[in-house]
Amino acid sequence: GESVGLHLPTLSVQEGDNSIINCAYSNSASDYFIWYKQESGKGPQFIIDIRSNMDKRQGQRVTVLLNKTVKHLSLQIAATQPGDSAVYFCAETYSGNTPLVFGKGTRLSVIA
């Protein structure tokens, strides 16, 4: 079973509503950002990424917004489903060849 994340910020959302998960990053030089999803007992899974020359990027049911002025990143999930329940991590890096630095994560709980 999962042994991590018990003290994470938690977002509870009704099934069918939209979810917004926020992340503040620390390095103003970071130019590449990724959102990962981690389900219980599994490794993190890539969701969507964005480079610093963009403000917004859309995927299937997910949108990532980047505000470089305030160093803020958000993940929007449309029509949240029970299968979206997981811990979500943002990660940042710069120059393309340095390892990702992960945030602490947010637990999303979907209420059916």
Partner 1 sequence: DAGVIQSPRHEVTEMGQEVTLRCKPISGHDYLFWYRQTMMRGLELLIYFNNNVPIDDSGMPEDRFSAKMPNASFSTLKIQPSEPRDSAVYFCASSLGGATNEKLFFGSGTQLSVL
Which one of residues 26, 83, 96, 112 is an interface residue with partner 1 (CB under 8 A)? 96
What is the closest distance, in whole angstroms, from the C-beta atom of residue 59 to partner 1 in the complex? 13
What is the closest distance, in whole angstroms, from the C-beta atom of residue 99 to partner 1 in the complex? 5
Structure-token pair, residue 58? 């859309």
What is the closest distance, in whole angstroms, from the C-beta atom of residue 67 to partner 1 in the complex? 20
Q: Which residues contact 42 (CB under 8 A, 6 or more apart)?
A: none
d(CA 44, CA 62): 17
Task: Give the contact letters, 23-62, x = binds to partner 1 (CB under 8 A), - = no.
Answer: ---------x-x------xxxxxx--x-------------
Number of residues that bind partner 1 (CB under 8 A): 26
Question: Of all residues in the chain, what percent are helix, strand and coil, respectively (each to 5)?
Answer: 5, 50, 45
